[in-house]
A and B are shown apart, each in its own frame.
Chain A
Amino acid sequence: VADASMHVEAGLRARPRPQIVAHDVSQPRRGWTSWLITTDHKKIGILYLATVLVFFVVGGVEALLLRIQLGTPENTFLSPEKYNQIFTMHGTTMIFLVIVPVWAGFANYFMPLMIGARDVAFPRLNAWSYWMFLFGGIALYASLFFTPPEAGWTSYVPLSEKEYSPSNGQEAWIYMVHLTGLGSIVGAINFIATIHNMRAPGMGWGRMPLFVWTILIYSYLIILALTSLAATVTMLLLDRNFGTAFFDPTEGGSALLWQHLFWFFGHPEVYILVLPAFGMFSEILPVFARKPIFGYKAIAAATAGIAFLGMLVWAHHMFTTPMSTVVLAFFMLSSFLIAVPTGVKIFNWVATLWRGTVEYRVALLFCVGGIATFLMGGITGIFLAVFPVDWQLHDTYFVVAHFHYTAFGAAAFAMMAALYYWFPKMTGRMMSESLGKVSFWLFLVGFQLTFLIQHSAGLDGMPRRIYEYSDAAGWGTMNLISTIGAFVLAFSVLLTIINLVRSLKRGTVAGPDPWKANTLEWFTTSPPPENNFDVVPRVRSVEPMKDIRRQIERQSGVAARYETGKPMVRA
């Protein structure tokens, strides 16, 4: 309710400003149809996240099936055909339907809030992006009713050509790439337009939250990488169905062309997966260390550096193909270079904890666990970048371990951290910290148990993507340990899902800012209203909420009174 006298007083002092007068405020829509027609970035964010959760569980169950098959030598639990289909679906699901869209989901919900915007630049296009993603997922999983694809998530030619993979599953895979890719590209344009144009007053590039920085770079990478992939899979579609021979060596095509084009997308894709995870680490660590992020500019610059170099390393996935030494050396050195900005980030995170006052919240634990795990993946990456060493390690379980340490270590840990950190904002309720801690420790132990031993399996000569191995190979113990670890990991995810469902109704009411956090999403109510903010504050630093809290303390005199030692009495 406006105070009339105040208006008059204000009007006397300042020139009147144009105002929008609302005659009629429509009630926010509820019910299930509101989810179908919504263009609210927060609802779309929740749609993304809920869909991702379903695919994460499906992809996880697929992983368990693979681990059961490999748990003992000469196992007949899965046929070779089923095994190939399941690992193809597992990889494809986790990459295209879980990790890429999970960041689209969190960014949808939080990026506009963090920059003080009322929605994204193109809300309807935003809804379209989500539906394209969902239809892409459905296109892939519809193939369960005929024949799922079985040429791996990399779909190397000639194996994925019609002659060797005659089923329509490969087409389902191509359509999935097209639909989710279109959704991602349009979503990325939307994010870029929003971040460039709709930041709160005062939020220059140097005051933008680091998560928003990573989402900006993620969006640019999506535009560069996924457009290229769209062209690549179209060539495969034409080869398979319309008589072209881009990849057929007997007709003058090249089987290596696919690998180059695929990895030209595939390696930037790795950074599409992990950069927003790095953004999460950079947001959550300072909040719970109660200390500003160490080296803000270095971290932002490292993000851009990683993205740039990430475009120049693709052929390190192809060190064992026929290539000249000069090319091998180039890609080895460019891959080495990426380690530098990545290392800079890790050092800055450690320095952020240093001399802070660290609160062991679940979100922080997942961040630290993620960094510790990712470090291992980064270091094994150096082994793989040295091409003669890669000749031994390539396409073995060492590589499987490496990319799970990076993709899972960064992305999945960060995903869990983001869930525990932002759940109160999205629902207005807290998740259980104690259940969360149990889930975290099982997650960490389960992960290490599953993947650490896979380095050894790879060194011992176990190739990827084999549905069985003989007893004589001696890989039985290693694989059994890995399988047990996978079940521990799955159990920990189950605990978090239970925590999530319980907390929706029974969690403690959170209030607008339960963590005393730094960024603008905590300035509004939990959950935020449809248009986020009534007033967008002027931003004066990377930590606007800290500034606002300080200002309120100063204005209310709380701090001054506290320092005088007099009892605090309410006025």
Chain B
Amino acid sequence: VPPLPDKRGRRRALAGAVAVALLGALVFAPSAWAGWFLPESGGSPNADAIRTMYILIAVLALIVFVGVEGLLIWSLLRYRARKGRVAAQIHGNTQLEIGWTVGAFLLLIFITVFTFVLLPDVKNPAASEIDENGNPVAANVRYAQTNRPGPPAGSASMNITVVGEQYVWSYSYPGEEDVLTYTDMYVPVGMTITLDIQSKDVAHSWWIPKLGGKADAVPGYTNKSWFQIPLDAIPEGEDRVVFDGQCAELCGRNHADMLGRVIGLRYDDWRAWYERKAEEIQEARDEAAQQREELQAEEPR
């Protein structure tokens, strides 16, 4: 005679499977899910780390939410006033009070620990995947992370100054050529980009959702942020990857129109773009200087 199936065990297994499936669905969600249930990610390791944090909190939150709402609705339905039913005259229960206070504490301590374990991945700029000449760096030679404002020593990085003003973003690139662009920021993929974020007038907030969290541009202060677009982010057969964003702090009437984009290019393409841009800027400067001279010459003495 085959043994009778253990109903309780089966139910437990089913519940476990559902939980795992739920967790799995959240973790390995297709990108379509991201927009509805998860923060944007995929453009930079810090955005991915934030997403991982979000998922953990979401799983815990879901359990608490379903549990408490369930109890609330169940109590409402189960203890509906009926003929002959008498309400229990209970005034409280100290053990229960202590229990749920401690329970809430433990849950929060767990989230705290998890947050601080993941924090360095969000906060500290990662080592670049390429060196200053655009050659890939093997993962095992990249340096360990420590709590510092820039990427690890010895790793290539690029610092761009982002300046907000009503209603446009401008970007100053490093180098003697003083290259400056508006709205569109061009960066090489694989390189860690550190940002100095400033404002010329009112407060703005720099935010490209897929590249990580936002950082306010407050006049009189320099805020810091960073991102690193993965080397494989550019789709096969294309020459660029584009990430959209916009100002996230009310900055006046046209706040909604203060857009920003980050365009990732392969290192060689980026180098070419940079040189062309530097040339254009030099030409424009020369032209302006010439016009100035002409105007001064024309001016009657």
Residues of B within 8 A of A158 (CB): 201-203, 219
Residues of B within 8 A of A344 (CB): 97, 100-101, 104
**A80-B253, A357-B79, A388-B118 are known contacts. Are A379 and B54 too (CB-CB below 8 A)?**
no
What is the chain B residue whose CB lies nearest that of A458?
B39
Which listed segment binds B: A132-140, A236-244, A369-377, A493-501?
A369-377
Contact A296 B92 (CB under 8 A): yes
Q: Mark A277-304, 1 if CB is under 8 A from B, else 0.
A: 0000000000001111111111000000
Contact B100 A461 (CB under 8 A): no
Q: Mark A101-114, 1 if CB is under 8 A from B, else 0.
A: 00000000000000
CB distance from A327 to the nearest CB of B (A): 14
Contact B53 A389 (CB under 8 A): yes
Which listed segment binds B: A148-156, A175-183, A428-436?
A148-156
Contact B76 A358 (CB under 8 A): yes
Q: In the complex the two chains form, what is the Cα distance from A388 to B244 in whole Å?
A: 20
Q: In the complex the two chains form, what is the Cα distance from A256 to B216 in whole Å?
A: 11
Tally inter-chain residue pairs, CB-CB below 8 A.
262
Q: Mark B65-103, 1 if CB is under 8 A from A, else 0.
A: 100110111011001111001111111110011001100
Q: In the complex the two chains form, what is the Cα distance from A294 to B71 in whole Å?
A: 15
Contact A353 B40 (CB under 8 A): no
Contact A156 B53 (CB under 8 A): no
Q: In the complex the two chains form, what is the Cα distance from A459 to B252 in whole Å?
A: 23
B267 at the interface (CB under 8 A from A): no
Contact B87 A256 (CB under 8 A): no
What is the chain A residue whose CB lies nearest that of B204?
A159
A77 at the interface (CB under 8 A from B): no
Main SS of the interface on chain B?
Answer: mixed
Q: In the complex the two chains form, what is the Cα distance from A548 to B205 in whole Å?
A: 61
Contact A358 B81 (CB under 8 A): yes
B35: contacting residue among A80, A254, A291, A474, CB under 8 A: A474
Residues of A within 8 A of B50 (CB): 388-389, 391-392
Contact A353 B79 (CB under 8 A): yes
Residues of B within 8 A of A469 (CB): 256
Which listed segment binds B: A17-25, A35-43, A332-340?
A332-340
CB distance from A96 to the nearest CB of B (A): 19
Which listed segment binds B: A3-11, A317-325, A552-560?
A317-325
Q: In the complex the two chains form, what is the Cα distance from A357 to B90 in whole Å?
A: 13
Residues of B within 8 A of A459 (CB): 34-40
Contact B250 A152 (CB under 8 A): yes
A308 at the interface (CB under 8 A from B): no
A144 at the interface (CB under 8 A from B): no
Q: How many residues of A contact B (CB 8 A)?
A: 85
Contact A371 B251 (CB under 8 A): no
CB distance from B17 to the nearest CB of A (A): 25
CB distance from A545 to the nearest CB of B (A): 15
Contact B37 A456 (CB under 8 A): yes
A382 at the interface (CB under 8 A from B): yes
B263 at the interface (CB under 8 A from A): no
Among B35, B49, B205, B247, which residue has the most Cβ atoms of chain A within 10 A? B35
Which listed segment binds A: B3-11, B187-195, B206-214, B273-281?
B206-214
Q: In the complex the two chains form, what is the Cα distance from A489 to B28 in whole Å?
A: 36
Contact B100 A347 (CB under 8 A): yes
A393: contacting residue among B39, B69, B220, B221, CB under 8 A: B39
B115 at the interface (CB under 8 A from A): yes
Contact A294 B92 (CB under 8 A): yes
Contact A461 B209 (CB under 8 A): yes
Residues of A within 8 A of B166 (CB): 164
B61 at the interface (CB under 8 A from A): yes
Q: In the complex the two chains form, what is the Cα distance from A295 to B101 in whole Å?
A: 13
Contact A375 B65 (CB under 8 A): yes
Q: In the complex the two chains form, what is the Cα distance from A336 to B69 in whole Å?
A: 20
Contact A358 B79 (CB under 8 A): yes
B122 at the interface (CB under 8 A from A): yes
Q: In the complex the two chains form, what is the Cα distance from A382 to B111 in whole Å?
A: 9
CB distance from B266 to the nearest CB of A (A): 25
Main SS of the interface on chain A?
Answer: helix
**A80-B254, A340-B105, A456-B35 are known contacts. Are A395 and B205 too (CB-CB below 8 A)?**
yes
B249 at the interface (CB under 8 A from A): yes
Contact A383 B91 (CB under 8 A): no
B159 at the interface (CB under 8 A from A): no
Q: How many residues of B contact A (CB 8 A)?
A: 85
Q: Mark B51-67, 1 if CB is under 8 A from A, else 0.
A: 00110011001001100
Residues of A within 8 A of B247 (CB): 463
Residues of B within 8 A of A463 (CB): 205, 207, 246-248
B214: contacting residue among A249, A383, A392, CB under 8 A: A392
Q: Mark A371-414, 1 if CB is under 8 A from B, else 0.
A: 11001100110110010111111111000000000000000000
Q: Mark B140-164, 1 if CB is under 8 A from A, else 0.
A: 0000000100000000000000000
Q: In the complex the two chains form, what is the Cα distance from A293 to B91 in whole Å?
A: 6
CB distance from A357 to the nearest CB of B (A): 4
CB distance from A449 to the nearest CB of B (A): 15
Residues of B within 8 A of A348 (CB): 92, 97
Q: Mark B173-188, 1 if CB is under 8 A from A, else 0.
A: 0000000000000000
Contact B89 A382 (CB under 8 A): no
**A456-B35, A460-B35 are known contacts. Are A333 and B112 too (CB-CB below 8 A)?**
yes
**A151-B250, A336-B111, A388-B122 are known contacts. Are A350 and B256 too (CB-CB below 8 A)?**
no
CB distance from A366 to the nearest CB of B (A): 13
**A256-B221, A388-B115 are known contacts. Are A383 and B61 too (CB-CB below 8 A)?**
yes
Contact B104 A292 (CB under 8 A): no
Contact A392 B80 (CB under 8 A): no
Among A337, A344, A389, which residue has the most Cβ atoms of chain B within 10 A? A389
CB distance from B211 to the nearest CB of A (A): 11
Among A81, A295, A320, A380, which residue has the most Cβ atoms of chain B within 10 A? A320
What is the chain A residue whose CB lies nearest that of B249?
A395
Contact B108 A391 (CB under 8 A): no
Residues of B within 8 A of A150 (CB): 253
**A320-B213, A340-B101, A375-B69 are known contacts. Are A291 and B87 too (CB-CB below 8 A)?**
yes
Taking CB atoms and an 8 Å cut-off, the chain A residues in 163-187 that contact chain B are 164
B224 at the interface (CB under 8 A from A): yes
Residues of B within 8 A of A483 (CB): none
Contact B89 A291 (CB under 8 A): yes
B262 at the interface (CB under 8 A from A): no
Q: In the complex the two chains form, what is the Cα distance from A92 to B71 in whole Å?
A: 36
Residues of B within 8 A of A157 (CB): 203
Contact B54 A383 (CB under 8 A): yes
What is the chain B residue whose CB lies nearest that of A318?
B216
A467 at the interface (CB under 8 A from B): yes
Residues of A within 8 A of B116 (CB): 329
Contact B203 A290 (CB under 8 A): no
Residues of A within 8 A of B73 (CB): 372
B23 at the interface (CB under 8 A from A): no
**A-B interface, 3 closest residue pairs, ranked by CB to CB distance from nearest:** A391-B213, A249-B220, A466-B256
Give 22 pairs: A residue, B residue, CB < 8 Å, sorted on A: A80-B255, A151-B250, A159-B250, A164-B166, A255-B218, A256-B220, A295-B93, A297-B92, A320-B249, A321-B216, A336-B111, A340-B101, A349-B72, A357-B86, A358-B81, A379-B64, A392-B50, A392-B54, A392-B213, A395-B248, A464-B248, A473-B244
Beyond A158-B202, A321-B221, 6 additional contacts (C-beta under 8 Å) are: A159-B202, A255-B219, A294-B91, A322-B224, A332-B112, A468-B256
